[in-house]
Amino acid sequence: MDRVALVTGSSRGLGAAIATRLAAEGATVVLTARTMEPDPKYQGSLRQTRDEILAAGGSAVAVPADLSQPDEREQLFAEVCDSVGPPDILVNNAAVTFLRGLDGFPDKRVRLMVEMHLLAPLHLSQFVIPAMRERGRGWILNVTSVGGDLPPGPPFSEFDRTAGFGVYGTVKAALNRLTKSLAAELFDDGIAVNAAAPTNPVATPGAGTLDLAKTDTEDIGLIAETALLLCTGDPATMTGRIAHTQSFLREVGRLSE
């Protein structure tokens, strides 16, 4: 795969797994997150992800950036273009998550989540679209969540009543709608736009910080495989998908029943 892939939030967790999978297929991967060096609060860093890809024979560069800041998003894109050229693939994975009931959710945190889950993916997509359109091909993937699906009810489950996923689910639902709209608008340009979500929680460092993903967890490799397929599929047929890993991989014959 002779392509450049920009993967946000790739210092650890889902982003690192997706970046590593794309690099293993021959992509030149640009890694970005806030933490170039290891952080005592979390496992993983941009340096670690980059070094592991390079040690495996892949190609990767790391560009630290705080994607909650529009000027840093702009600077990131300029650095990517200067170092490896405009991306063929954009994976919007970077996110920040706070869990709390809606009646007391701090405004500052709501705005930060909207910025990271919705505005940053749109802004970065706007940056990469012109070169993709000129080439007549491109792939944009937004990492979403089943939390963006509407909860069933009433009656509502105890989880939906108490877990504090209201803002998280709202921004992921908005990201899903953004995905569909971009897919429709860019269809004639040969640019695929999809979203992917783990079917079950993945035991990443971020999930551990939020005290999640203790049971019914999913292999992180499933999201990496889903991302690879969505970032290499034919844009004429594989676009506008909100893909849940397990059902999607069964559909395409990559996972048995």
Active site residues: 168
> How distant, in Å, are the alpha carbons of 28, 64, 72, 157, 238 from that of 197?
24, 25, 26, 21, 16
* Beta carbons of 245 and 226 less than 8 angstroms apart: yes
Alpha helices (H) along 187-219: 205-209
Please count the CA atoms within 13 angstroms of the CA of 73 that sit on its side-chain side.
21
Close Cβ partners of 81 (under 8 Å, ≥ 6 residues apart)? none
Question: What is the C-alpha to C-alpha distance for residues 199 and 190, in angstroms, rounded to an integer?
Answer: 28
Peptide bond into 155 cis (omega under 30): yes
